Structure 1
Amino acid sequence: MFGGSMVALVTPMKSDGALDFEALERLIEFHVDAGTRALVVAGTTGESPTLETDEHADLIGEAVRLSAGRVPVIAGTGSNSTAQTLHLTRKVEAMGVDGFLLVVPYYNKPSQEGLYRHFSTVARAVEKPVVLYNVPGRTSCDLLPETVARLAELDTVVGLKEATGDMQRLQALRELCGDEIELYSGDDATAMDFILGGGIGDVSVTANVAPEQMQALCDAARSGDREKAAEINNRLMPLHRELFVECNPVPVKWALAEMGLIQPGIRLPLVPLAEEHHERVRAALRHAGILD
């Protein structure tokens, strides 16, 4: 249903932290022109924890309007509250989104049964496709393959963004789930191996600044062309690394501002990229051929 390079889109903001819809339009045109396969809006990279409920919905609605059916919009609507997740997911479903990204509940550390009930409650209440999102490095809670297999039996659960970077986890998921669920990498540094190992795409931070290259990487890996995929990946590897020199999305928003695509706005508790890291990110952009 989804696949290829799916950008984990930043949320552009003005210097005072207000949402910048003019910059959002620039970013969407940038990705449509580059062939990005989906826009993941208001996820982790989109600073979703800092968005008020109404502006969260407004952001998603504006992304749907601006994309105008040219590229799928997957709305990040997950939280650590099942009731809140359900409310927001239902609120934006009518806006014309193509699917939802639901992160593992963070901070409260539910059991595997709690995770199953959380996701199944939301998945049974909506008609649009649901993509699960496992990122234990941020949530301190791991959605295990056995639970994914249970959730994959639900009609609306179509995919999993797996951000552990663990290739053994990929194989366990493939063995347990078969063709019942699509598997997407959520870790750019290992995305090539993930796709070569049977995944079908990457929900990518790097794609914010290098969309054409990331789509080419996904295409090469999906076709089994390891040599071509590795050539592209080697050019992008400094970006994969340096875009996490501080907590995401701090470096990637700085990089997009350096490229002239957005203003440098970011919301507390995150702050702009420390000056000591500027040249490292610039060097990675130059290595990828993005900056002269």
Structure 2
Amino acid sequence: MNIRWEGVMPAVTTKFTKLDTLDLQMFEKNLKAQMDAGVHGIILGGTLGEASTLEEDEKVQLIKTTVNLVSQKIPVIVNIAEQSTKGALKAAERAEKYGAQGLMMLPPMRYKANAHETVVYFSEVAKHSKLPIMVYNNPVDYGIEVTLDMFEELLSFSTIQAVKESTRDITNITRIRNRFGDRLKILCGVDTLALESLLAGADGWVAGLVCAFPRETVAIYELAKAGKIQEALAIYRWFMPLLELDINPQLVQNIKMAEVATGLGTEHVRPPRLPLQGAERKRVKDIIDRSITNRPMLPSYKK
């Protein structure tokens, strides 16, 4: 499958039971809701989420379950966030072996690689894997920026095709487009900048709150791309208090609370994460409750 690198691609949460095992039944329910809403791809193992807590066999199980359920209708993309080049190569090999169609890839974790080391790291995976790659550029959370000059080198590999743009600098979309045209596809990686990014020319949106609100998320994308800006803006303004729950250290707990409210998940997280408590729990619950109460009627948005 060739990946078009456009549209809404949920970075899906990992579902757990109260016994801290994978909850594949709820995971499949959520995936089906995403597909019914019209998402354009599924991303497994988001790094700010719980992927770093998963055992290798659990990652394999999630890939196999997703690939089987999606059944070639949309691409399955596996995130790579490893400490070593050896680990990244192994993760890419595992993703390909079990049927994933693409990779989303961060620079090396923990060690703050310089520009040359970062380029070589990405290049080694591009050399050894057939899967297309979306570079995850998030210097705010991970401390390493993949600059345009670095992309100039990386784009010598045909499999490096897209960027998850999370610099928080909207003008970077225009810089990328001016320099590389359509050679490098751009997907917004920050929920609270999604509509602005789409209007600036981004091709898609790697989303978080989509896990609880898939139809609203896809509607914003489709309406914006169809030029129905006021309709998209009305939904986006309603959505913003929820989207702000994604730019928070407890984003996983926040999103899982929202999933409970829409019947698409549970609050079970893997320690050291714990469900929200006290005043913060009340604050988040109030935001979710108000949003559910005022949930908008959506216009027809599917193509």
* TM-score, structure 2 normalization: 0.90
Q: Determine helix, strand or coil for the equivalent of 1:241.
A: helix
> 2:291, 2:38 → 1: CA distance?
22
Tell me the CA shift for residue 160 of structure 1. Answer: 0.5
Distance 1:127 1:216 in 2: 33
Q: Which runs of 4+ in 1 moved over 4 A?
A: none
1:204 matches 2:207: yes
Q: Give the corresponding residue for 2:282.
A: 276
- Residues of 1 paired with 2:294 and 2:118: CA distance? 41
Partner of 1:241: 244
Number of the residue aligned with 1:68: 71
Write out per-residue CA displacement over residues 211-267 of structure 1, whole angstroms, 9 at most, x where no aligned residue.
111112112222343322212211211111134455221200121123332232111
Determine the structure 1 residue equivalent to 2:102: 99
SS in 1 for 2:272: coil
Shift of 1:108: 0.9
Deviation at 1:46, TM superposition (A): 4.5
Equivalent residue for 1:33?
A: 36
Residue 52 of structure 1 corresponds to 55
Q: Contact 2:6 / 2:205 at 8 angstroms: preserved in 1?
A: yes
Identical pairs, percent: 26
**Counterpart of 2:43 in 1: which secondary structure?**
strand
AA aligned opposite 2:169:
D
- Cα distance in 2, alignment partners of residues 249 and 57 from structure 1: 21
Aligned residue in 2 for 1:78: 81
Q: Is contact 2:245–2:251 with CA below 8 Å preserved after alignment?
A: no
Instruction: Give me the CA root mean square deviation.
Output: 1.8
Match of 1:187 in 2: 190
Residue of structure 1 equivalent to 2:265:
262
- Cα distance, 1:285–1:112 mapped onto 2, change above 3 Å: farther
Contact 2:261 2:288 in 1 (8 A): no
Task: Measure the CA separation in 1 of the matches of 2:144 and 2:248.
Answer: 23
2:293 is the counterpart of 1:286? yes
Report the Cα distance in structure 1 between the residues aligned to 2:289 and 2:144, rounded to whole angstroms. 34
**2:219 is aligned with what amino acid?**
A
CA–CA separation in structure 1 for the residues paired with 2:234 and 2:282 = 29
| Structure 1 residue 114 corresponds to structure 2 residue 120 | no
How many angstroms apart in 2 are the aligned matches of 1:74 and 1:101? 7
The CA distance in 1 between the partners of 2:203 and 2:211, in whole Å, is 19
Q: Which runs of 5+ in 1 are unaligned?
A: none
Measured after TM superposition, the shift of residue 93 of structure 1 is 0.1
Query: Counterpart in 2 of 1:168?
Result: 171
Q: Measure how far apart 1:13 and its partner are.
A: 0.7
Q: Which runs of 5+ in 2 are unaligned?
A: 298-303
What is the match of residue 157 of structure 2? 154
Shift of 1:276: 2.8
Determine helix, strand or coil for the equivalent of 2:221.
helix
For 1:119 and 1:232, locate their aligned partners in 2 and report how far apart those are by CA, in whole Å: 37
Measured after TM superposition, the shift of residue 59 of structure 1 is: 1.2
Match of 2:300 in 1: none
Query: Which residue of 126, 129, 133 maps to 1:130?
Result: 133
The letter for the 1-side match of 2:282 is: E
Superposition map of 1:11-26 within 5 A: 11-26=14-29
Q: Deviations over 1:72-116 (max 9, x none)?
A: 211112323211111011012022212111122232111111111
d(CA) in 2 for partners of 1:50, 1:197 = 36
Is contact 2:47-2:81 (8 Å) kept? no
Aligned AA for 1:211?
P
Provide the secondary structure at the position in 1 that maps to 2:8: strand
| Structure 1: distance between partners of 2:178 and 2:51 | 33
**TM-score, normalised by the number of residues in structure 1:** 0.93
Would the aligned equivalents of 1:256 and 1:262 in 2 still touch at CA under 8 Å? yes
TM-superposed CA distance for 1:71, in Å, is: 2.3
In the alignment, which residue of structure 2 is the partner of 1:139?
142
8 Å contact kept, 2:81–2:109: no
